[in-house]
A and B are shown apart, each in its own frame.
Chain A
Amino acid sequence: MLNKIAGHEVDRRSLLKGAAAGGLGIAGATMLAGCATGGASSGPIAFGARTVDESPTKQLKGLIDAYVAKTGNEVTYNATESNAFQNNLSQYLQGTPDDCFQWMAGFRMQFFADQGLLVDLSDVWNEIGDQYNESYKIASTGSDGKQYFVPQSWYPWGLHFRKSMMAEIGLDPESIYNWDDFMGALELLKGKGLIGLASADKGGWEAMGTFDILNARINGYQFHVDLLAGREKWTDDRVKEVFAYWEKLLPYMNTNVLDLEWDGAMQLLLQKQAGFFFNGSWFGANFKEQSQEDYDDLWIVPFPEINPEFARDTIDAPIDGFCVAKNGANNAGGADLAKFAGDKEGMQAMLDTGIPMTSANKNQDTSTYDPFQLQQLAVMNEAKYITQFLDRDTRPDFAGPIVGPAFQSWFKDPSSTNAILESLQSQWDALPPLA
Chain B
Amino acid sequence: MSMMVKDKKKAHAQQIKDRFISIFIGIFALVWLFPIVWTLWSSLRPYSEIRAGGVFSPPQELGLFNYTNAIERMDLPRYFWNTAIITIPAVFLILLFGSLIAFVVTRYSFKFNVAMLLLFTAGNLLPAQLVFIPVFKMYLAIGDAVGDRRFLYDSPIGVILIHVAFQMGFATFVLSSYMKTIPKEISESALVDGASVFTHFFKVMLPLLRPPLASLAVLMTTWIYNDFFWALVLMSTDNKRPITSALGRLQGEFVTDYNLLAAGAMIAAIPTLIVFFILRKQFVSGLTLGSTKG
| Count of interface residues, chain A, beta-carbon cutoff 8 Å | 30
Residues of A within 8 A of B239 (CB): 78
Q: Does B254 contact A (CB under 8 A)?
A: yes
Does the CB pair A83–B251 fall under 8 Å?
yes
Residues of B within 8 A of A94 (CB): 136, 140
Does the CB pair B249–A91 fall under 8 Å?
no
B residues 152-194 touching A (CB-CB < 8 Å)? 153-154
The distance in angstroms between the C-alpha atoms of A283 and B140, with both chains bound, is 40
The listed residue (A88, A263, A267, A271) touching B256 by CB distance below 8 A is A263
Q: Does A303 contact B (CB under 8 A)?
A: no
Does the CB pair A91–B236 fall under 8 Å?
yes
The distance in angstroms between the C-alpha atoms of A52 and B75, with both chains bound, is 12
Does the CB pair A91–B136 fall under 8 Å?
yes
**Contacts A78-B239, A267-B51 known; A96 to B249 CB distance under 8 Å?**
no
Q: Does B107 contact A (CB under 8 A)?
A: no
Q: Does B248 contact A (CB under 8 A)?
A: yes
Q: Does B232 contact A (CB under 8 A)?
A: yes
The listed residue (B54, B150, B245) touching A84 by CB distance below 8 A is B245
Interface size of B as a range:
20 to 34
Does the CB pair B52–A271 fall under 8 Å?
yes
Nearest chain B CB to A101 CB, angstrom units: 10
The distance in angstroms between the C-alpha atoms of A97 and B238, with both chains bound, is 11
Residues of B within 8 A of A262 (CB): 254
Q: Does A286 contact B (CB under 8 A)?
A: yes
The listed residue (A95, A270, A282, A289) touching B154 by CB distance below 8 A is A95
Nearest chain B CB to A407 CB, angstrom units: 19
The distance in angstroms between the C-alpha atoms of A290 and B253, with both chains bound, is 18
Task: Name, among A50, A262, A267, the residue most crowded by chain B CB atoms within 10 Å (CB to CB).
Answer: A267
The distance in angstroms between the C-alpha atoms of A91 and B248, with both chains bound, is 18
The listed residue (A51, A79, A87, A290) touching B51 by CB distance below 8 A is A290
B residues 116-162 touching A (CB-CB < 8 Å)? 136, 140, 149-150, 153-154
Does the CB pair B251–A95 fall under 8 Å?
no
Does the CB pair A263–B238 fall under 8 Å?
no
Residues of B within 8 A of A271 (CB): 52-54
Does the CB pair A82–B253 fall under 8 Å?
yes
Does the CB pair A263–B255 fall under 8 Å?
yes
Nearest chain A CB to B153 CB, angstrom units: 5
Per DSSP, chain A at the interface is: helix
Does the CB pair A51–B48 fall under 8 Å?
no
Nearest chain B CB to A391 CB, angstrom units: 14
Does the CB pair A81–B251 fall under 8 Å?
yes
Contact mask for chain B residues 201-227; partner A; CB cutoff 8 A; 1 contact, 0 none: 000000000000000000000000000
Contact mask for chain B residues 233-258; partner A; CB cutoff 8 A; 1 contact, 0 none: 10011110000010011011111100
Residues of B within 8 A of A87 (CB): 232
Residues of B within 8 A of A91 (CB): 136, 233, 236
Chain A's closest residue to B132 (CB) is A91
Nearest chain B CB to A79 CB, angstrom units: 6
The listed residue (A83, A92, A286) touching B255 by CB distance below 8 A is A286
Q: Footprint of B on A, CB under 8 Å?
A: 50-53, 78-84, 87-88, 91-92, 94-97, 262-263, 267, 270-271, 282-283, 285-286, 289-290
Q: Footprint of A on B, CB under 8 Å?
A: 48, 51-54, 73, 136, 140, 149-150, 153-154, 232-233, 236-239, 245, 248-249, 251-256
Listed by A's residue number, 22 A-B pairs whose Cβ atoms lie within 8 Å are A52-B252, A79-B238, A80-B238, A81-B251, A82-B252, A83-B248, A83-B251, A84-B245, A88-B233, A88-B236, A91-B233, A91-B236, A95-B153, A96-B149, A96-B237, A263-B254, A270-B52, A271-B53, A286-B51, A286-B255, A290-B48, A290-B52
17 more contacts with CB within 8 A, not counting A88-B236, A91-B233, A270-B52, are A52-B73, A52-B249, A52-B251, A78-B239, A81-B251, A87-B232, A88-B232, A92-B236, A96-B149, A96-B154, A262-B254, A263-B51, A263-B256, A271-B53, A283-B254, A290-B48, A290-B51
